[in-house]
Structure 1
Amino acid sequence: MAKWILYHTDGCHLCEQAQDLITPLLGDDRLQLVDIMSDEELITEYQTSIPVLKSDQGPQLFWPFTAQDVCQFLRKQNKSKQIVWI
Structure 2
Amino acid sequence: MRLDDALFNWLQIQIVAEARPDDGAAIDTRDFFLQILTEDHGLANVAVDKVDDTMIYVRYEREGRSKVQMFPREAGEQLLSDIDANPKYN
Tell me if both proteins adopt one fold, taking TM over 0.5 as the criterion: no
* Greater helix share, structure number: 2
Larger radius of gyration: 2
TM-score with structure 2 length normalisation?
0.32
Whose RCO is larger (CA < 8 A, sep 6+)?
1
TM-score with structure 1 length normalisation?
0.33
* Greater strand share, structure number: 2
